[in-house]
């Protein structure tokens, strides 16, 4: 969008949000103009915490469906809106509640840890949810002698095995965007830019291999972790292995440093379904309300509350 087109629309969104008593939450992968109009921009964990703490009556979730659903489960008395109902997630779609029930039946007594990128029905079958921001701490909170089923992201699961030293049973799901960032992308960049730090999201297919580089300049981080790391690092140049929407936030909040995507193809079409126009329509026309069946929400809430509580 051109700057001239953004300004009146952004003003309209802010006015409607005030009128509606709404807070606008946006994920780090949202398009720049949506990030810029939001009250809070962050990763999955930060967004869940922000939703849990808000006084606003209405939450407009600029992200994908499972994120809005997570807020709706945490806050059954508030209205949660998502500007486009088709904003799904290929990773969340990689396991169903039925599949999880069958897996649990094969491993009675195992603790189920689900990544937050899952449906409400899967969360209802889960003991602990986690995000990339606290997955290690969640695994470490579970007694050593308990068997753990981890779903649905295999690359995050493999990375967790390495950093915790725990053996996990891992569901073979993946995010098509992060799985598409290949070890070759990383190698090409790291050899061409020996002065750059490498920031890698644990959903990447290359995350476990990156750790094996052991070069001291590779850091496996959630999207929020990337922003914090770049802010506090004395280094000037960073290669980023995640969805490219994070670059807007990095440029904005860490000015003067250099950030490059290791793969320009790493674009989540679901995240990009949310536009400023749809956000305006959502607030103006009260759509789309995200509601979770109360019985499912009741069973899913404990796992999400545990996630929000573990740092």
Structure tokens at 73: 């489960």
For ligand 13P, which is the closer residue by CB, 79 or 157? 157
Please, which residue, 20 or 203, has the CB nearer to ligand SF4? 203
Q: 57-73 burial, b for 16+ CB within 10 Å, e for fewer?
A: ebbbbbbbbbbbbbbbb
Q: How far is the CB of 271 from ligand SF4 (least distance, A)?
A: 6
Shorter beta-carbon distance to ligand 13P: residue 190 or 244: 244
* 17 contacts ligand SF4 (rule: CB under 6 A): no
Q: Residue 179 interacts with ligand SF4 (CB under 6 A)?
A: no
Whether the Cβ atoms of residue 59 and residue 80 lie closer than 8 Å to each other: yes
Should residue 90 be labelled a site residue for ligand SF4 when binding is judged by CB under 6 A?
Answer: yes
Angle, alpha carbons 8-223-268 (nearest 5°): 65
Task: Judge whether 259 and 232 are in contact, CB under 8 Å.
Answer: no
Cα separation, 265 vs 281, whole angstroms: 29
Per rule CB under 6 A, count of chain residues that contact ligand SF4: 12
87 with 270: CB under 8 angstroms? yes
Find, among 199, 208, 205, 267, the residue nearest to 239 by Cα.
Answer: 199
Is 62 a residue that touches ligand SF4 (CB under 6 A)?
no
Distances (CA, A) of 10 to 4, 35, 109, 176, 213: 11, 11, 51, 31, 44
Q: Is 271 an interacting residue with respect to ligand SF4 (CB under 6 A)?
A: yes
Two tokens, residue 64: 């994908």
Q: Judged by CB, which is closer to ligand 13P: 190, or 222?
A: 222
Taking residues 219 to 258 in sequence order and writing x for each that binds ligand SF4 by CB under 6 A, - otherwise, the string is: ------------------------x---------------
Residues that bind ligand 13P (CB under 6 A): 28, 43-44, 117, 131-133, 175, 203, 222-223
Alpha-carbon distance of 23 to 19, in angstroms, equals: 11
| Of the candidate residues 122, 268, 300, 303, the single one contacting ligand SF4 (CB under 6 A) | 268
Between 10 and 47, CB nearer to ligand SF4: 47
Choose the one of ligand 13P, ligand SF4, none that binds residue 90, judging by a C-beta under 5 to 8 angstroms depending on kind: ligand SF4
The answer to whether 81 and 57 are in contact (CB under 8 A) is no
Compute the least distance from the CB of residue 293 to ligand SF4, in Å.
23
Quick check: helix, strand or coil at residue 79? strand
Stretch that binds ligand SF4, among 75-83, 125-133, 172-180, 297-305 (CB under 6 A): 172-180
Out of 70, 114, 117, 190, the only residue in the binding site for ligand SF4 (CB under 6 A) is 117
Is residue 89 at the binding interface for ligand SF4, with CB under 6 A as the rule?
yes
Q: Is 69 a binder of ligand SF4 (CB under 6 A)?
A: no
- First CA to last CA distance, the chain: 37
Task: Check residue 262 for interaction with ligand SF4 (CB under 6 A).
Answer: no
* Six token digits for residue 60: 């407009």
């Amino acid at each position: 969008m051109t700057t001239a087109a953004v300004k009146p629309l952004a003003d309209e969104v802010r006015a409607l949000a005030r009128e509606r008593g709404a807070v606008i939450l946006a994920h780090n992968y949202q398009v720049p103009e949506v990030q810029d109009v939001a009250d809070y921009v962050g990763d999955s964990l930060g967004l869940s915490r922000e939703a849990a703490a808000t006084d606003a009556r209405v939450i407009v979730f600029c992200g994908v469906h499972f994120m809005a659903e997570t807020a709706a489960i945490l806050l059954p008395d508030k209205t949660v809106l998502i500007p486009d109902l088709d904003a799904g997630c290929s990773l969340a779609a990689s396991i169903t509640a039925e599949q999880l029930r069958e897996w649990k039946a094969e491993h009675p007594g195992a603790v189920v840890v689900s990544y937050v990128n899952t449906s409400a029905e899967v969360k209802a079958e889960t003991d602990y949810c986690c995000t990339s921001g606290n997955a290690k701490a969640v695994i470490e909170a579970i007694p050593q002698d308990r068997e753990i089923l981890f779903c649905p992201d295999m690359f995050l699961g493999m990375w967790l095995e390495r950093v915790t030293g725990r053996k996990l049973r891992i569901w073979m799901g993946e995010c098509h965007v992060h799985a598409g960032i290949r070890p070759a992308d990383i190698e090409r960049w790291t050899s061409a830019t020996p002065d750059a730090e490498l920031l890698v999201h644990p959903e990447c297919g290359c995350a476990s291999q990156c750790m094996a580089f052991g070069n001291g300049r590779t850091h496996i981080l959630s999207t929020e972790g990337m922003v914090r790391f770049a802010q506090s690092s004395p280094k000037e140049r960073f290669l980023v292995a995640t969805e490219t929407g994070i670059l807007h936030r990095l440029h904005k909040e860490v000015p003067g440093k250099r950030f490059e995507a290791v793969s320009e193809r790493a674009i989540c079409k679901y995240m990009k379904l949310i536009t400023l126009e749809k956000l305006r329509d959502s607030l103006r026309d009260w759509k789309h309300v995200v509601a979770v069946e109360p019985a499912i929400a009741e069973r899913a809430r404990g796992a999400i509350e545990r996630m929000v509580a573990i740092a």
